[in-house]
Structure 1
């Protein structure tokens, strides 16, 4: 059974929501910039993870913001995809990938702190 977040946790959600928002922006920017790279085929796994990460971050932010009883469940998925996106982006030397990897790592850490 999922345990709902406490009212106190919901009140202290600005840090995690800020990190999630930055991650969404970095992932969207990275996915778009990857399309401009010379070897786009090599960037396909990165683009896919960027898109997945941005999408799970959006839904996670919504669940957290409204205090959903399922926020912790969605948060686990968010952390897993952020970890994978970080790993993929960290493989590439492009500035947009480096920035995305950093944002995903920061989001992962904020989510872990929020989850307790």
Structure 2
């Protein structure tokens, strides 16, 4: 897998996580969404950092993308626990990004 494809997956995941984060804050039982909100932030941040690492050809790109995949998987797992449409979309984008990161470093 090329950096380009992985960058695209990370950017998409970043956007979807930010949307999920915002939507979770507007949910009626926002306290129930705390874990989701926290992981959305972590995931968006690491995706952004992974994009930066890849675009500057960082010597740590494999480690950063490995961490990105792990955080994406955790975020996907958390989002999958919720029935909201934004959470389902987020879980899907996170799984796709984790897979792209894993393929890129393989």
TM-score, normalising length from structure 1?
0.89
Question: Cα distance, 1:75 vs. partner?
Answer: 1.0
Counterpart check, 1:111 vs 2:64: no
SS of match in other structure, 1:92:
coil
Deviations 1:27-79 (A, max 9, x none): 00000000111100000000000000000110011001111101111111111
Match of 2:84 in 1: 94
- In our comparison, the structure showing a higher alpha carbon Rg is 1
Aligned length: 106
1: CA distance, partners of 2:53 / 2:24: 29
More helix by share: 2
Which residue of 2 is the match for residue 35 of structure 1? 25
The C-alpha deviation readout for 1:1-33, integer Å capped at 9, x for no partner, is: xxxxxxxx7xx3111000000000000000000
Residue 62 of structure 1 is matched in structure 2 by 52
Deviation at 1:109, TM superposition (A): 0.6
CA distance in 2, matches of 1:47, 1:101: 13
Which residue number corresponds to residue 38 of structure 2? Answer: 48
Separation (CA, whole Å) in 2 of partners of 1:76 and 1:111: 7
The runs of at least 4 aligned residues of structure 1 exceeding 2 Å deviation read none
